Chain A
């Protein structure tokens, strides 16, 4: 969830605040948790998403990544240059997606949510969530392919 938030907001401190906030809200609303309406994971990501969207609405700015910082981190970690370049391609492809679809991809990969959990977190039907995820991932792969990310394409 922290990865989802930091990817969506591009701000570590805000992501940390919202992570704590999400868990606190989950703890407060634990008595209202109903497994028939979704898993705790979907509930948690739904809370985190709402908090993130509120934050985005307040800031009224587009999410952007500090690519340089990530690359510096990657290099500092000693990862292979090939991996760093591949991630940069993925980052560009992800950044080219509309925010709505980018958020879907982040929820899917960071939260490891199923389509049903995605639907619960987004407040839409499972079929709609599947359709939107299909389009978002297809677009992501297309952008990656266009950027020369042969492994993904």
Chain B
């Protein structure tokens, strides 16, 4: 087994002084006889090595200049080569100076590159920071993406739905709507009906008004239900505001039930009757009172029933007019009595038909709206508040930390393994190189 002796790290006695004297001697700062001997020995050792040939020096300089490491060095080397040719003294060319100048040039180049790399790193770090901030902002806003759209629907975006004027006797033309949402309505032979609804989930937009299914010349019955989120403390206030809005829009509260509990969920339910013409505006106003959890609107076409009732009324009125004409022309008591009886029956039929028409008209002109208000204790935290923002930011950071931990769990062992392999390889290569110096 070959034992390679390693010199100790401890400096030899007087080594520091010896080193200082040697360095001073080699730098030419000392003029002692011993210093002159050191310089002479150095020059002799350096003179033993043949000088770099001028051709190689030029080639090396050209190669470095081609790579952009040096500028003008090739011309300088050529000049020196020519001067060398004229002097015919290869030893006069100092290879040490060439190396020093090349090394210095590399150092200058490196500083420039480092400066550029430093700027790139700064720009990269700034870009990464901005990107992370943007992603975080988008995530925070994305988590609220559904809430603002539902809890504060813009009234201007709501197209008033199909409506009939209260007391209208004939079929009313309804304004066509330009709503973009196109849910699939279900139709029946008598009355086609359609409904739209949305849960307050991030992926579903706010429900559209029923005007999307209205058609000119049709009589339609509208209905809607809306569920609001509120806190238990605001439940009663919100209910009162809903009632006030209903009255303001020409409707009324058909029934209401407000249940407030200190512990547990509180809830209020209001059954409203609103003019169909004001339904969309009323719903928009209600939706502004509190965040909307769910909204549903439905439409039923009652044109057939309306037309039938209207025909019955017309028929009864025509019959009454015919009976009155017959009564005017009657000459006998029996005919008069019979016509009076039939007129009475006709008036009853007219009244019944008129009532039916009024009832159907009322159904068309008035919409049923059911408002549910949930007094969730967490509802107070809804909305884009600083608290919610910080909470979401914390959640995002948590997710990021978890992702980093997962990545670290994979990458750190891998990096350690790679570092270990690289270190071992480096140590082995160094050992092999050092062995080359010990070769016999």
Docked-complex contact A44 and B103, CB < 8 angstroms: yes
Within 8 A of A (CB), among B72-130: 89-91, 95-96, 98-100, 102-104, 106-107, 109-110, 113-114, 117
Docked-complex contact B46 and A110, CB < 8 angstroms: yes
Question: Contacts of A73 on B, CB cut-off 8 Å?
Answer: 50, 90
Chain B interface, DSSP helix/strand/loop, else mixed: helix
Interface membership of B436, Cβ < 8 A: yes
- Nearest A-chain residue to B41, judged by Cβ: A152
Interface membership of B414, Cβ < 8 A: no
Question: Contacts of B99 on A, CB cut-off 8 Å?
Answer: 1-2, 41, 44, 111
Within 8 A of A (CB), among B20-75: 22-23, 26, 37, 40-42, 44-53, 56, 59-60, 63-64, 67, 69
Interface membership of B333, Cβ < 8 A: no
Docked-complex contact A131 and B10, CB < 8 angstroms: yes
Encode contact with B along A26-55: 1 for CB under 8 Å, 0 otherwise.
Answer: 110011010000001100100000100110
A144 touches which of B16, B41, B46, B98 (Cβ 8 Å): B41
CB A44 to nearest CB in B, in angstroms, measures 5
Docked-complex contact B45 and A131, CB < 8 angstroms: no
Question: Contacts of B8 on A, CB cut-off 8 Å?
Answer: 128, 131
Chain A interface, DSSP helix/strand/loop, else mixed: helix
Question: Contacts of A75 on B, CB cut-off 8 Å?
Answer: none
Which segment, of B301-309, B394-402, B427-435, faces chain A? B427-435
Residues of A within 8 A of B (CB): 1-4, 6-7, 12, 16, 19-20, 23-24, 26-27, 30-31, 33, 40-41, 44, 50, 53-54, 56-57, 60-62, 65, 69-70, 73, 77, 86-87, 90-91, 94, 98-100, 103, 105-106, 109-112, 114-115, 123, 125, 127-128, 130-135, 137, 140-141, 144, 151-152
| 20 A–B contacts from the bound complex (CB under 8 Å) | A2-B49, A2-B98, A3-B49, A12-B50, A24-B67, A27-B69, A31-B110, A31-B117, A40-B107, A41-B99, A57-B435, A60-B436, A87-B47, A90-B44, A90-B45, A99-B437, A99-B438, A111-B99, A128-B9, A151-B37
Residues of B within 8 A of A (CB): 7-12, 15-16, 18-19, 22-23, 26, 37, 40-42, 44-53, 56, 59-60, 63-64, 67, 69, 89-91, 95-96, 98-100, 102-104, 106-107, 109-110, 113-114, 117, 430, 432-440
